[in-house]
Each structure stands twice: as C-alpha cells, then as structure tokens.
Homo-oligomer: A and B are copies of this chain.
C-alpha cells in the first residue's frame, strides 16, 4: 500500500535537499531559481519533449540521463526558457552546471539543468552563477525548503505543486516526492511542463527509466491544457538508494509496487498541472471504459479533453454531449458511435446523458449542478472491449485568451 505524506515534496525522501530564491532573472525580487541536491549520487531517468525544436537544457539533460552513469543535482530557473538560443544556449547550460558543481562539490556531468520562460533570449548566466552560489548555503531537507523550491519554478501557475508518497519495498519504507510546474505561459511564450521527482529507492538505472517511461505515458502524456507541446518539457526522477531497500534489479513484485507508487506521484502531479491550466476554472477528466485496445481508449480520452468546443462547454457548465460524441468521432480511434454511453460525474453526483449514442431525457438543471463542480468527469463507456484510459485537461475560458493575447512588454 502507498501512503501520502501531507504537504510534502522533493525533500520527503531521505538525503534530498532543496532551496529556492531569486537570482534576478525575473523583474523585481521574484523567486526564479531552485536547486535540488542529493547527499549521494543518484541514478536518473527522464523523459523529454518530442518537439523537434528542443531547448538547450533538454539537450544537456538528455546527454546526462542517457549517457552518464549518475546525477546528483538539478538547477532550475524560471523567467527565460533558453530555447532557440543555439550554441551559446548550450554553453550557458554548461556554465550553470559548472557553477553548481563547484559550490555543491559534485561532478559537472552530474548536474541537470532546466529552464522555463521566454523563448529566444539568452540566459543571464552571470546572474545564475551568482544565484547558485548564494542559494547553496540554504539547501535543506525541510518541508519548507521543498515548498520554496516549488514556488521558485512557477511561471503563470497559480499554486505550487508538490506531492509525496511512501511505499513498502521488501519490508523497507521507500519514499517518492515530487514537484512540478505547469501549463503557464511566461510573459507570453509557450506553456512548459517541468517535473522533478526524487526517491530514496535503490533501483537499477535501466529499470528506473523503464518504470518512469511507462508511468509518464499514463500520467503526463495524458494531460493537455491547449494542445501546444513545449520546446522545454522535461520530467526527471532521481533515485539515491538511501532507503536501503532490497535493490530493485528485476521486474518482480518490488518493481511493480515501486512503479505503482511512482505512477501515483506522477498522476497526482499531472492532475495538478491540468487543474491549474491557464485561466481555467476546473480540472476536466475524461475516462473511457471498455475500448477495444488501450491505444483506442487513450486516443478517445485525449480527444475529448483537447476539443476546444467541449472545453468551452465545460466552462459554460453545459452538458453538451454532442461535442463529446463529435470529439470521439474525429479522434481516429476505432469504436461504434451507436454503442456509446456518457455520464457526467462530480461531487454533486452522477447523471446519465447519452445511451447507445442517443440522448437520454435528463434534467438540464441537475446536469448544470454537476458540471459546476471542480473536478468534472466525463465517463464514456464505448462497450466495445475491456480497455480503459483517463485523460486530464481543463476548461477553455475567457481568461485563457486574455492571458495569451497580451502583448509582450
């Protein structure tokens, strides 16, 4: 069984320290720099943006995660994305890693970096070097330190996003903590998803990557705020082994339990991002049941939460089943429109809207009441098999447009 540790994040596992502060990248004295550091070297796994246009930090981290044996620290800045910055951008990643290497006493090629913010500008790397040196003495294993780091990576996020769970691995308590920042624009550029997960589990690097890739597929790859895939998307997990659990070195029960706990952490973080999408008023979940294949279930669920028309209807608390059926229909997945059942579910109850592809005689008033809650779930039964998938998004609001139509200034 997994247990949640309330109000906790990346410092929950043994041996992880964090700090957050201001390096002067953003205007004013706003927090814009965070460090995560493990007391001992970690195995690392990561997944990165599929965008052909990859920001410099993505290239840097791919090298470290895929080609270097260990990682030990992460330096994250908000304010500037270091994307579309060419050779100079990559050199600035190296300089940031070097600065962290010196003050944290870890190898330069054990320092991961991540950036989120305006595209096309070079990082003020001198400020980051100075910021890292200034921040290092504040590294701490407290909840407060993790919370400060979670705040420092925010852009237009309205709340910091942290979670931590424990899981029993071979009689030993293993902890997994995480923080992420979401679907915010920064002064306006693209949304960037950054996620950092720490764990004290002892696990082989290749199994950590395998578990993480599969978990990300069912969590972060199932959310969408506006369909735009950033140049900077990065999710990283560091495992330092300090829980001293029996080493996870094969796909046994311990691996399965660890992966399940990792999935819970990743899913909770992903839902926090979807529920804090730009301008949104609610988390909108689409759950597809009884699809022919897992792939069909995923395509159907994602099509519903990415449909602009459906998202706008959710904002209007409107049980517009036509738009849901329409989004299923153009998704490209295989199903029979004449077999689809649809209900809407929230804390205010559940209401059947459509059965066998046709509208039921439901109460619009009750539907509106259910759709006025946060979160809202569309439960779709395609009655065509036994596979299911869930996707998470948010409503499309007037504020989304306002946020994203602002002039850069």
Q: Which residues of A contact B (CB under 8 A)?
A: 50-53, 83-84, 86, 118-120, 185, 188-191, 226-231, 306-309, 312-313, 315-318, 320-323, 325-330, 335, 337-338, 357-359, 364, 368, 396-398, 400-402, 404-408
Q: Is the CB of B226 within 8 A of A405?
A: no
Pairs A–B under 8 Å by Cβ, sample size 15: A51-B329, A53-B326, A53-B328, A53-B329, A53-B337, A84-B358, A119-B326, A189-B322, A226-B309, A227-B227, A231-B325, A308-B404, A312-B400, A318-B406, A368-B407
- Write out the residue numbers on chain B whose beta carbons fall within 8 Å of the beta carbon of A52: 328-330, 335, 337
Q: Is the CB of A405 within 8 A of B323?
A: no
Alpha-carbon distance between A185 and B50 when the two chains are bound, in angstroms: 34
Alpha-carbon distance between A405 and B309 when the two chains are bound, in angstroms: 8
Q: Is the CB of A358 within 8 A of B120?
A: yes
- Known interface pairs A329-B53, A335-B52, A396-B401. Does A407 touch B318 (Cβ–Cβ under 8 Å)? yes
Q: Is the CB of B309 within 8 A of A404?
A: yes
Alpha-carbon distance between A86 and B355 when the two chains are bound, in angstroms: 13
- Write out the residue numbers on chain B whose beta carbons fall within 8 Å of the beta carbon of A312: 400-401, 404-405
Alpha-carbon distance between A255 and B315 when the two chains are bound, in angstroms: 50
- Write out the residue numbers on chain B whose beta carbons fall within 8 Å of the beta carbon of A407: 316-318, 368
Q: Is the CB of A228 within 8 A of B313?
A: no
- Known interface pairs A52-B329, A330-B50. Does A228 touch B404 (Cβ–Cβ under 8 Å)? no
- Known interface pairs A189-B323, A326-B231. Does A402 touch B408 (Cβ–Cβ under 8 Å)? no
Q: For the complex formed by this chain, how many copies does it contain in all?
A: 2
Q: Is the CB of B191 within 8 A of A309?
A: yes
Alpha-carbon distance between A313 and B228 when the two chains are bound, in angstroms: 13
Alpha-carbon distance between A259 and B315 when the two chains are bound, in angstroms: 44
- Write out the residue numbers on chain B whose beta carbons fall within 8 Å of the beta carbon of A405: 312-313, 315-316, 318, 396-398
Q: Nearest Cβ distance between residue A390 and chain B, in whole angstroms?
A: 21
Tell me which of B185, B398, B406 contacts A401 (CB under 8 A): B398
- Known interface pairs A52-B335, A52-B337. Does A402 touch B398 (Cβ–Cβ under 8 Å)? yes
Q: Is the CB of B53 within 8 A of A309?
A: no
Q: Is the CB of B120 within 8 A of A83?
A: no
Most B CB atoms within 10 A — which of A190, A326, A335? A326
- Write out the residue numbers on chain B whose beta carbons fall within 8 Å of the beta carbon of A359: 84, 120
Q: Is the CB of A308 within 8 A of B226?
A: yes
Q: Nearest Cβ distance between residue A136 and chain B, in whole angstroms?
A: 32
Q: Is the CB of A397 within 8 A of B408?
A: no
Q: Is the CB of A189 within 8 A of B408?
A: no
Tell me which of B50, B84, B228, B401 contacts A327 (CB under 8 A): B228
Q: Is the CB of B358 within 8 A of A309?
A: no
- Write out the residue numbers on chain B whose beta carbons fall within 8 Å of the beta carbon of A401: 312, 315, 396-398, 400-401
Q: Is the CB of B408 within 8 A of A318?
A: yes
Q: Is the CB of A316 within 8 A of B404?
A: yes
- Write out the residue numbers on chain B whose beta carbons fall within 8 Å of the beta carbon of A321: 120
